[in-house]
Structure 1
């Protein structure tokens, strides 16, 4: 449930997350100008380096930075900047007015559901989706889908994707996964390049989901938020379920230019 965000009483410190050397100096400079009259400061770094920093809020510039921030399980709100399919965000040029609005008490915390994928005891978090994908294009494997131990169906395809409501507006939407409302405690499951043109998609509870590779023609990889995290042996379950939420910040439409983008991401 959305709730008003109360800015901290102490001097604000804003962490700006960048990944893979993708820095946004113009955004940092504009945010610093907002913070200067408040004696605040900007810290920049990767999501990992900022995870233990004492910051008031985080600014994630772009989808990769936001996904990396989610993996670190932040306990402060995150302001998404840039075009991020399915998620309300602010344009880079409007990040400073959005920060000003937030520090003035005009922002809302909007929790976004997170997925956790478990493969052979290792846990991986994602905001958008988790997928099993063949390592070579046009190599068909067979995948099964179960929920709470009960079989749902199976499909021969290049892969299968499980998406959060936010993720259904990005890559999953491009493979015909149904778009979901953020109000639903559910995920969308869809095959990737299925062998049969009549392949089904499913809307399932966001708990107790299990995917397996039943037969493969080549190796299959678990990909979480566009990041390959491990190889999936035939018959090994990949368990997927809700893992809490990440607190994103939204600002009134008059405070900054916001966007809620649809279409294929990544």
Structure 2
């Protein structure tokens, strides 16, 4: 839901001039976007700070400017609550074209802007089998994702078997190269290439789809965005867990990946300047 927003007095514009961590497989091309040159904002009536994400956030900016999907996803991983103005092509999220950034920021500082929250997923990979005698026998990986979570077999043409559960109920078991679960924003990016349903941001749901299924008529699903579990029922090669294009762990047959919305990322939409 949109909400009005104001930069307040003495605003500080934080510019992330580097995109953050490189993704393992940049599916959107956003890594080719040049960093934003803070000098282009010299006419904007606000204090400017620039640097990498950590440096900029340390300055407590009123608004954060990020270029491309990688930088926006990196901000989501930090749990930042500073409103973000996305720049450049971003799948499923309104963003400002680079040439319109100065005018868009002027509109932001004048209050002609809406704050729109985007769902952020918490992703947990539990490996091994913890028991009452040794509760630390299971290792866990905790990550956040703004766009999608993917389990994928590393080797080409090596199909594994995956299981999907939602709120404790079995949804499906299928053989495929992988499986993707996407937020409404992510459903318009990579997930759409594997024919996942494209979701409205008004929905509290995830789009889930197999990747290159062995049976071509395998279904795709729209599922609640809490308590989704994905498992590897049988593997024929290493299966990697990928969150927003970053490899974050290895999934085995005794592992369990759970996905739920754990928060939101506040983005700014500027009428006349922000577009999908």
TM-score, length basis structure 2? 0.87
- Give the CA deviation at 1:136: 1.4
Pairing of 1:1-266 with structure 2 (within 5 A) = 1-9=1-9, 11-17=10-16, 18-20=18-20, 24-26=35-37, 28-35=38-45, 40-120=46-126, 121-253=140-272, 256=273, 258-260=274-276
- Cα–Cα, structure 1 residues 127 and 62, in superposed 2: closer, same or farther, change >3 Å? same
For 2:35 and 2:117, how far apart are their aligned partners in 1?
25
For 1:70 and 1:217, how far apart are their aligned partners in 2?
33
For 1:193 and 1:52, how far apart are their aligned partners in 2?
43
For 1:25 and 1:173, how far apart are their aligned partners in 2?
28
Question: Does structure 2 conserve the Cα–Cα contact (< 8 Å) formed by 1:47 and 1:72?
Answer: no
List alignment gaps of at least 5 residues for structure 2. 22-32, 127-139
SS of the residue corresponding to residue 248 of structure 1 reads strand
Question: Does structure 2 conserve the Cα–Cα contact (< 8 Å) formed by 1:164 and 1:188?
Answer: yes
Q: What is the number of equivalent residue pairs in this alignment? A: 251
- Cα–Cα, structure 1 residues 207 and 180, in superposed 2: closer, same or farther, change >3 Å? same
For 1:150 and 1:34, how far apart are their aligned partners in 2?
53
- Any idea what the Cα deviations from partners look like across 1:119-143, whole Å, max 9, x if unmatched? 1332111110001011112210000
Question: Does structure 2 conserve the Cα–Cα contact (< 8 Å) formed by 1:71 and 1:125?
Answer: yes
Question: Does structure 2 conserve the Cα–Cα contact (< 8 Å) formed by 1:131 and 1:222?
Answer: yes
SS of the residue corresponding to residue 34 of structure 1 reads coil
- Any idea what the Cα deviations from partners look like across 1:193-227, whole Å, max 9, x if unmatched? 11111111111000110000111111111100011
> Structure 1 segments of 4 or more deviating over 4 A?
20-23
TM-score, length basis structure 1? 0.90
List alignment gaps of at least 5 residues for structure 1. 261-266
For 2:54 and 2:234, how far apart are their aligned partners in 1?
37
For 1:71 and 1:168, how far apart are their aligned partners in 2?
19
For 2:84 and 2:264, how far apart are their aligned partners in 1?
12
